Amino acid sequence: MAFHETPAGPDVDALIEDLRTLVECESPSSDPGALARSADLVARLGTAHLGAEPERLGIHLRWRLGGPTRVLLLAHHDTVWPVGTLRTHPFGISDGVLRGPGSFDMKTGLAMVLHVLGSLDDRTGVTLLVTGDEELGSPSSQALIEDEARGADAALVLEASADGGALKLERKGTSIYRVLVKGRAAHAGLEPEKGVNASVELAHQVLAVAALGDPALGTTVTPTDAVSGTTRNTVPADASFAVDVRARTAAEQHRVDTALRALVPVLPGAVLEIEGGINRPPLEGALSAALFARASRLAAAAGFPTLTGVAVGGASDGNFAAGVGTPTLDGLGAVGGGAHADDEHVLVDRIADRTALLRALVVDLIANPAGDRDGTSPAGAR
């Protein structure tokens, strides 16, 4: 399979055919069989476009296309949609809007990067890593991402864009906890005083945890699902609740982590245990600024839509690349909306310019990996 390109840019029809194939191979993160089939498909498509087979790392695929990694491209092939979703949400295009499970998050970005890399004669230092567990928090691919990103000049993430095509210049770091409360059971009618009520202790701790957020700094600490008790007439002996933490800086993540681990029981006899911890470090704006400036310069020179950038609360594999200090630019994939929702969609008329921008950025990084600190290229660099 050869890369198809017209004088005006990428052949969107050919790219959409690959995208249809990817979307119609359902790949929920929690289904090993479906993920294996999806990984096989991505390997076949990638081999056809890139002229090289990937390293198979379980459900993850890696193409090192020429020497040590200098430019890392990150994508994932897993989705949140269970097998069978195609029956109610089939792949299709109507009035310039493409739909299908995983089309926006993020199989369009995956198709884009395969077409871009297949078009390049010089791929020195380029590595493509396609993971299969991103929607679960990347438990088995985190180390792969971090190892590949260390020492790279740039990481480009093919996650879908923010509203209107904005790139994602900051992503909050995520931490995931469960607070376990141990009390003592007793009969609620005969001798409740002999018990230690885990539900009451849980209530105290939920309020204490919720107070750890700092809206001024963008830090959210949110108690979520809670479980307590066994029967109506028994003083609960056990309770627990989950905590979702989002923070813009590593310092805030560590502040909240320290505070959670320092929680003490309010009721005499109650015991607390804290499970979990920091999941993804933040992608801080300082690590995306130069790449965004470079991409903006390239977009302006090519006459593409003016680039905008935003900070978002959601995390991606780009957080791991940024966490090891690698300059990282996220949201380079599809323009559309509805990630994880019934109205997931991609704007077909934006596929061409986004693919061409990605190609221009990769070419520029290969030719001039370091660039200037403000994102411009030295005189003579192309």
Give the whole-angstrom CA distance, residue 96 versus residue 250.
41
Which residues of the chain form CATH 3.30.70.360?
173-280
Q: What is the pLDDT of residue 6?
A: 45
DSSP track, 352-363: HHHHHHHHHHHH
Q: Are 123 and 67 in contact (CB under 8 A)?
A: no
Q: pLDDT tens digit string along 2-48?
A: 334 444 578 999 999 999 999 999 999 999 999 999 999 999 999 99
pTM: 0.87
Q: Residue 308: is it exposed, middle or buried by C-beta count within 10 angstroms (0-12/13-18/19+)? A: middle
CATH number of the domain at 173-280, please? 3.30.70.360
Q: Are 247 and 256 in contact (CB under 8 A)?
A: yes
- CA dist 104 to 36, 107, 113, 182, 234, Å? 21, 6, 14, 43, 48
Which residues in 333-350 are b (16+ Cβ under 10 Å) and which e?
bbbbbebeeeebbbbbeb
Q: CATH 3.40.640.10: does it fit domain 5-171+283-367? A: no
Q: What is the pLDDT of residue 314?
A: 87
Q: What is the pLDDT of residue 371?
A: 63
Q: What is the pLDDT of residue 7?
A: 42
Which residues of the chain form CATH 3.40.630.10?
5-171+283-367
Report which DSSP code applies to 195.
Answer: S
Q: What is the pLDDT of residue 370?
A: 67
Q: pLDDT tens digit string along 309-359?
A: 999 988 999 999 999 999 999 999 999 999 999 999 999 999 999 999 999
